[in-house]
Structure 1
């Protein structure tokens, strides 16, 4: 279970983003659960309300299903649920800088990006 402070922050941050993205794409909680292969649709409600963390195995499927920028979404999840790891990996880089880095890495353009940094 998440602490009350974490739940409150999650409600106004990740949970709200998830709900907004779901509504924008026209999914009900039940339909989104079905699209993700989640048996219990109340799990979507619990994530949106911040009563449970978004499971890491759903980070990318949620982003892809709801047409969210997957790098930004995964970064937000990492920052929220694993802040020490996030700081260790990315320090004070902005979300957009990190997303650009990850996008370049994913597209095999990391060397080009690193050359630009020098």
Structure 2
């Protein structure tokens, strides 16, 4: 029996957080002016349907590809990974970052990435 099967409340929370992460990623993609197919191509995915699945909360961005996703979206990879960690592993995020003085680092603003791309020309 899996852990989530033993704890329905945790399974429901995980599902909710994955959907929230998906909404955040979709917002970031749209702010970057990319289609799902374009993001899939930029991140080396064979099919855009994986992007769709992640945006719908049915999957998650693998750790080993988070940097390329962030770069493709024009976001800082460290901030991107930290934000995803808050959705994917909230307890680990709390343990690592609770009480950290850089509160602004907890939230990656999609508009920040747009401003950074605009400044780069």
TM-score (norm 2): 0.66
Which structure 2 residue ranges, 5 or more long, are not aligned? 5-10, 108-121
Structure 1 runs of 4+ off > 6 angstroms? none
TM-score (norm 1): 0.68
Change (3 A) 1:30 1:98: closer
Check the 8 A contact 2:66/2:80 in 1, yes or no. yes
Which residue of 2 is the match for residue 8 of structure 1? 16
Q: How many residues align?
A: 97
Q: Deviations over 1:8-60 (max 9, x none)?
A: 22223x21121111112221111111111011210000110111122112211
Q: Name the Cα RMSD after superposition.
A: 2.3
How many Å separate the matches in 1 of 2:44 and 2:61? 14
Which structure 1 residue ranges, 5 or more long, are not aligned? 100-118
Indicate whether 1:77 and 2:84 are aligned.
yes
Which residue of 1 is the match for residue 97 of structure 2? 90
Indicate whether 1:59 and 2:69 are aligned.
no
Which residue of 2 is the match for residue 22 of structure 1? 29
Greater relative contact order: 1 or 2 (C-alpha under 8 angstroms, separation 6 or more)?
Answer: 2
How many Å separate the matches in 2 of 1:54 and 1:28? 17
